[in-house]
Amino acid sequence: MPMASAQVKSAILLAGLFAEGKTTAIQPGESRDHTERMLEFFQVQTARAGSEVSIHGGQQLESRDFVVPGDISSAAFWAVAAAAFPGASLTLTDVGLNPSRTGVLSVLAQMGAHLSDSVDHELGGEPRGNVIVHGRQLRGVEIGGDIIPNVIDELPILAVAGALAGGQTVIKDAAELRVKETDRIAAVAGNLREMGADVEETYDGMIIRGGKPLHGARLESFGDHRIAMAFAIAGLFAEGETTIGDAACVAISYPGFSSDLETLTSAPTKRRGGEATPVITSVPDRTLEGNESGGIPEPEEPMHRAIAIDGPAASGKSSVARRLADRLGFVHVNSGLMYRAVTWSALGAGVDVNDAPAVIAHMRSMRIDCGIEGGLATLHIDGLAAGSGLTSPEVNAAVSAVARIGAVRAELVARQQSYLALADIVMEGRDIGTVVFPDTPFKFYIDANPEVRAERRRRQGIEDDLGARDAKDSGRKESPLTTAPDAVVIDTSEIGIDEVVARVLIALRERGFEFGAGEGGGA
């Protein structure tokens, strides 16, 4: 196949079921895997290798009852509406959380929204659960590369999010958008411009310089349901009235959209059903339900605080993070363990960690559950608690190759950010202050000279080529290990842990950290 497409792949697989012998769909990248999951649920085997999927003809489907999960592509409109609305809080229930579809949540999290999603259960081979979205002032982001097939249907509404965000949003590698129901690049860019946004169309996407105030307009849907819905949401954020013409197409994927829009917003949506071409009129200045004060709410402070501890391997950041968390009653979260979990699982499955598409496919097939139990961060891989294998020499040698894959980072960063909805946290890693929680004022970079760090590992009896790992972590394109400009740098080469923690507590106080009774008093 010339491009990764779930529809084409599914058609080939279904045809292959009735063909003699083995049929293989070979895609240049991953695409969503609902068909494979459903076939499996109906007792038909498919074989996946990277982005290739094969099926043997002649297999018998067994009947099953199937419950269709809530469509995350429909939920995406509400997720963006809430995410871009500082102070809003929205829970979407029973949403399909197939990892090949949740890219939109990762992108919104990268844009600064606070999201948490939790898989409650799996039914018919599809994971499902609730998504909680807390709105913030969003920031621009680059959307391109491996994540595109995952978010392809959500790009119109993500472009709207880009227009509402501060800074620049770039959408690229998405030329396929030009051959959807309509040329979605032209439609989105044109409509956004009609509303006053600063948008430049490119052949495979667009550049949006966000933050310009939007004004209402009369817009075309171009007969495309996603364009109609995306701009109904944009209208919520515009000054004046927005009218979308020819909106009957919305029923293609979401017949209840207008009434859900009414439920979500305090002013009723005007539906002009009597007209030859139905329109949705989107009235601005309304409040999302749950905000009782009326009007635009003040941006809400994040619900919890994050303390970011970054630094190279064996710099002592784990000991510091743990001690600090204990001292403050915060939850200690080790983000490196998440990268290690993907690495460990991929190695166990015989995946070449230098083959990025294969690692991504593997990550999407595994289940990683991160949470908090009894004040401690927990990590389960395919239902099993993470074990000592995560710090094995094999994982040490391979983890940096996995951590430099953009799609892996996008997925794990979203999970790291979702902790903030749950508790006050001390999170350690490489990019916590720069990428995961760039807004926290509490950032530390814990360093030590290379000899001291190597000696620490030797004493721990752990085989770990720190130099190689640091070089890869610092030299990579995605979120390299660097010191955030506003981080407090502490070199632990010649001082003990007590002194390091004492310095951290002093710096926290200087930065306005509010200590609870008895916390940090001895610093």
The catalytic site residues sit at 153
Task: Say whether 282 sits in a helix, a strand or coil.
Answer: strand
Least distance in Å: CB of 405 to ligand C5P?
A: 10
Give the one residue of 87, 156, 336, 433 binding ligand C5P; rule: CB under 6 A.
336
Give the one residue of 117, 126, 246, 431 binding ligand C5P; rule: CB under 6 A.
431
Task: Give the nearer residue to ligand C5P in terms of CB position, either 159 or 342.
Answer: 342
Task: Give the nearer residue to ligand C5P in terms of CB position, either 273 or 461.
Answer: 461
Nearest to 414 by CA among 86, 71, 115, 100: 115
Report phi then psi at 470, rounded to 5. Answer: -60, -40
d(CA 401, CA 498) in angstroms, rounded, equals 34
Task: Give the nearer residue to ligand C5P in terms of CB position, either 314 or 505.
Answer: 314
* Contact flags string 448-477 toward ligand C5P, x per CB under 6 A: ---------------------x---x----
Least distance in Å: CB of 471 to ligand C5P?
A: 10
Least distance in Å: CB of 470 to ligand C5P?
A: 8
Report phi then psi at 373, rounded to 5. Answer: -135, 130
Q: Which stretch binds ligand C5P (CB under 6 A): 73-81, 160-168, 288-296, 333-341?
A: 333-341
How many residues touch ligand C5P under the rule CB under 6 A: the total is 14
Is residue 430 within the footprint of ligand C5P (CB under 6 A)? yes
Query: Contact 345/389 with Cβ under 8 angstroms?
Result: no
Q: Which stretch binds ligand C5P (CB under 6 A): 22-30, 93-101, 256-264, 395-403?
A: 395-403
Is residue 194 within the footprint of ligand C5P (CB under 6 A)? no
Is residue 399 within the footprint of ligand C5P (CB under 6 A)? yes
Give the one residue of 16, 149, 156, 429 binding ligand C5P; rule: CB under 6 A.
429
Is residue 321 within the footprint of ligand C5P (CB under 6 A)? no
Residue 171, H or E segment: strand 167-171
Query: Contact 49/356 with Cβ under 8 angstroms?
Result: no
The residue assigned the tokens 């990683």 is 368
d(CA 416, CA 485) in angstroms, rounded, equals 21
Q: How far is CA 240 from CA 214, 264, 267, in A?
A: 9, 19, 14
d(CA 106, CA 163) in angstroms, rounded, equals 18
Least distance in Å: CB of 419 to ligand C5P?
A: 13
Give the one residue of 109, 230, 309, 313 binding ligand C5P; rule: CB under 6 A.
313
Is residue 426 within the footprint of ligand C5P (CB under 6 A)? no
Is residue 35 within the footprint of ligand C5P (CB under 6 A)? no
Rounded to 10 deg, the angle between the 103-110 and 406-418 helix axes is: 70
Q: Which stretch binds ligand C5P (CB under 6 A): 233-241, 286-294, 354-362, 429-437?
A: 429-437
One DSSP character per residue, 81-135 reads HHHTSTT-EEEEEEEE--TTTTHHHHHHHHTT-EEEEEEEEEETTEEEEEEEEE-
Give the one residue of 77, 257, 339, 444 binding ligand C5P; rule: CB under 6 A.
339
Is residue 440 within the footprint of ligand C5P (CB under 6 A)? no
Least distance in Å: CB of 400 to ligand C5P?
A: 4
d(CA 257, CA 259) in angstroms, rounded, equals 6
Residue 339: which residues within 8 A CB-CB, separation 6 or more? Answer: 399, 402, 403, 408, 412
d(CA 58, CA 22) in angstroms, rounded, equals 10
Is residue 403 within the footprint of ligand C5P (CB under 6 A)? yes
Contact residues for ligand C5P (CB under 6 A)? 313, 335-336, 339-340, 399-400, 403, 429-432, 469, 473
